[in-house]
Each structure stands twice: as structure tokens, then as C-alpha cells.
Amino acid sequence: MPGIEVHAIARDVRMSPRKVRLVGDAIKGKSLSDALALLRFMPYRASTPIAKAVKSASANAENNLDMEPSNLYVVRVLTDPGRTLRRFRAKARGRAGGLHKRSCHITVVVAEKE
């Protein structure tokens, strides 16, 4: 089914979107097996939730639309900022410094090769 895109979304992943984008850009345009192999050996913490989302998108394509997993490739990986938890860290002289615990939403889009 060429032209049909299938996606999976991982919401509120407790990582900075800026760091997740580095890993997402590395697998863009790769076949599904190449992307998963690349993610398995990347030294970044963000590779685990992205791999999980890629597997979920592959399962969605296979089970919902009867697409062949060997023909799938990663069209794009979108990383949007999620909720930011605002905390404080004690500083000198009784002051408080801001601390932002960021999260992101990861969207993986896969499609079948022509």
C-alpha cells in the first residue's frame, strides 16, 4: 500500500527533546531493520524509547493494515516538547535556583517502500 503512513506516539518521555532529536535524526530514512540495529548500539539513553516507538509503529502497520515489516522504512521522527516539571535547587545564601525537568512526545512515522 504505497503512500500510506502509519505512526506511533510515545508521550511524556522524561528526556529533553533536544537530546532525543539527535537520535531521531540518525534513523530518519532508514529501513526498519537498519534503524533498530542502529538504535541497539547507540550510546544514548534516548535510543530505548525511540526503539520502542519504532517497534510499535511497525506492529501498527503489520496488524492494522497488513503491511509487510520487511518493506517498511522510517519516514520521520518528530520530537515535540512535553510537560516541564519545575523544581528548585537550594543555592547559596538561602536562595533558590530554578530546575526544569523536561519531557517530550516522540512520534515515529513509517511507510512501505514503493
Domain coordinates in residue numbering, the chain: 5-112
Average the pLDDT over 64-92 and give the result.
Answer: 95
pLDDT at 3: 79
Tell me the β-bridge partners of 68: none
Q: What's the half-sphere exposure (Cβ side, CA atoms, 13 Å) at 4?
A: 14
Distance CA 71, CA 111 (A): 8
Average the pLDDT over 83-107 and give the result.
Answer: 96
Q: Does domain 5-112 have CATH number 3.40.50.2300?
A: no
Kindly indicate the confidence band of residue 84, based on its pLDDT and cuts at 50, 70 and 90. very high
Reading across the β-sheet that carries 5-13, which strands appear in turn?
5-13, 96-112, 72-90
pLDDT at 1: 61
pLDDT at 114: 77
Q: Which three cell numbers stand for residue 39?
A: 538504535
> How many CB atoms lie under 10 A from the CB of residue 80?
13
Percentage with pLDDT > 90 across the chain: 96
The DSSP call for residue 97 is E
